[in-house]
Structure formats: structure tokens, C-alpha cells
Amino acid sequence: MLREQTRENWIDQRATGIYLCPMHPDVRETVAGKCPKCGMDLMPEGTRFALFRHMIGRRSHLVIMAALMVAAMAVAMMMMMMR
């Protein structure tokens, strides 16, 4: 059982290369396994979940998204006023 898991992880490692902990952005392993801090399964980089974590992990992205939303609302209000 354990040996089979190790072999699968090794295959995954060759496919992606980097594994991330969902909870710890600083945990980046080159082999699949458990996070050394919380014990959660590391997820391969490139998954949708990793992208989501990347978005919320960088505050600058939130600022850009907020600015775009404000700009879109301003444009919408201008169009309503021009009508």
C-alpha cells in the first residue's frame, strides 16, 4: 500500500515538479507528500485550486480586481447619466 503510493507520487512529481500546501504558501516541495507544518496532502502546482490560492495569496491582485470593479461601476453610472 505504502509502496504503491510512493510510486504514484513519483509519477506525479515527474508530471508537474512543484507541490504546494493549501494552507502554507511558503511550503513548496519538489516531491509529493504531506506538508511538514500541518500534514495536509500537498497539491500539484497548476491545479485550479493552486491558482485560487495564488490569487488570494497576493494582495496586489485583490487591489487590481477592486480597481477594475470600481472602474466598471463608474463607466456604468456614466452611461446611465448620459441616457
Beta bridge partners of 41: 34
Considering the complex, what minimum distance in angstroms separates the CB of residue 44 from Zn ion? 15
Q: How far is CA 29 from CA 1, 4, 44, 76, 77, in A?
A: 22, 20, 9, 45, 48
Question: Is residue 25 a contact residue for Zn ion (CB under 5 A)?
Answer: no
Residue 37 or 61 having the CB closest to Zn ion: 37
Question: Is residue 35 a contact residue for Zn ion (CB under 5 A)?
Answer: yes
Considering the complex, what minimum distance in angstroms separates the CB of residue 34 from Zn ion? 8
**Residue 13 in grid coordinates:** 512529481
| Total site size for Zn ion, rule CB under 5 A | 6
Yes or no: say if 23 and 29 are a contact pair by the CB < 8 Å rule. Answer: no
**Binding residues for Zn ion (CB under 5 A):** 21, 23-24, 35, 37-38
